[in-house]
Amino acid sequence: MSLDWIYYAISWILLTWHSAWDAIGVPVGAVIGTNWAWILAIIFLVVTVRVILFPVFVKQIKSQRAMQALQPKVKELQEKHKGDRETLQKEMMELYRKEKANPLMGCLPMFLQIPVFLGLFHTLKRLNPENGGKTLYGWTVDQFNSASSAKLFTAPISGRFGSTAADLAPLGANTGTVKVIAGVLVLIMIATTYLTSRQMILKTGWAEDPQQRMVQRLMLYGIPVSLLVSGSIFPIGVIIYWVTNNLFTLGQQQWVLRKFPPLVPPKKATTTTGGKSPVQPAKTGLLGRKTAQPVAKAPAAAPKVAGPKPGAKPVNPKKAGNRPAKRQG
């Protein structure tokens, strides 16, 4: 299957944004060793793709909410079919079908961006003046030469951390500079990739479903670690795309999670302390520490006074107390 339609689409978006920034007045030439019109074209390629995929992102959030609401039922099935993995999987798939929840929906936006990533990778990899502009899709020779000479802090956007001196010679770039710029961007790419996954897991919690938990662990640890190796073959322009996409995701997730907070099961309030004496709410004591105050005991009842014996005269205690003592002799 030919992927030319992807290359044409990516090239068209890049050229459109570059022309827009050029018309606005963003310098085409290098400023601080950077061709900002091309850097902004890559950044706004991300914006274009994310706007197109926003409805999918909303479906992703709804699916995650549905999966979270099903966690108690999933836990019940796990307890019911403990040790019977095949039956458990069938029951869980039936539950997802009945409740219209899709465990793979959380990864869909990422999968849909893979063609864009590959298209940009394919395009930037061929930005070399020796190619003469013949291998790109819809580019004129002038546009191709302009993109080939585009740099970020003197490092070509088609340069890679693993580029050799022979690879960079036609681009007029220094190997050490390219390695430093590419290396810093790869570290930022790894950090932001980790943070996007961590942000979502901290807000929604770890899944009870083993498959879902495995996907979460892969997203949190597996992908960032793999970027240590694969990042060395990515052109700098592709890494700029990846970092921008991660930052966009962080902001988008934060907005959605604030507007639609995750479902949190209410905690049961406890009124006893496990058989111990009840404790009153804590009060602030010395040094600002809070100390638990025991419940005050009820005052002791007054001792009962024995009544007069049967047949004896009643005695008035007040009169008896005020009667003067008899004189002797």
Question: 324: pLDDT confidence band, cut at 50, 70 and 90?
Answer: low
CA–CA dist 277, 234 (Å, integer): 65
Long-range Cβ contact pairs of 258-266 (< 8 A, separation 24 or more): 260/61, 260/65, 261/203, 262/65, 262/68, 262/203, 262/204, 262/205, 263/65, 263/68, 263/69, 265/72
What are the tens digits of pLDDT across the range 102-115? 776 666 777 888 89
What are the tens digits of pLDDT across the range 17-67? 999 998 998 876 667 889 999 999 999 999 999 999 888 877 777 777 777
Question: 323: pLDDT confidence band, cut at 50, 70 and 90?
Answer: low
What are the tens digits of pLDDT across the range 38-49? 999 999 999 999
Under DSSP, the state recorded for 264 is -
**Bigger pLDDT: 2 or 75?**
75
CA–CA dist 122, 135 (Å, integer): 10
Question: 281: pLDDT confidence band, cut at 50, 70 and 90?
Answer: very low
Least confident of 12-21, 131-140, 167-176: 131-140
Q: What is the pLDDT, as a whole number, of residue 220?
A: 87
What are the tens digits of pLDDT across the range 214-260? 878 888 898 899 998 888 899 999 999 999 999 998 998 888 778 76
CA dihedral 105, 107, 110, 115 (to 10 degrees): -80
Nearest to 53 by CA among 3, 100, 111: 111
What are the tens digits of pLDDT across the range 297-312? 555 555 555 555 555 5
CA–CA dist 223, 87 (Å, integer): 31
CA–CA dist 208, 67 (Å, integer): 10
Which helix or strand (DSSP H or E) is residue 291 part of?
strand 290-291
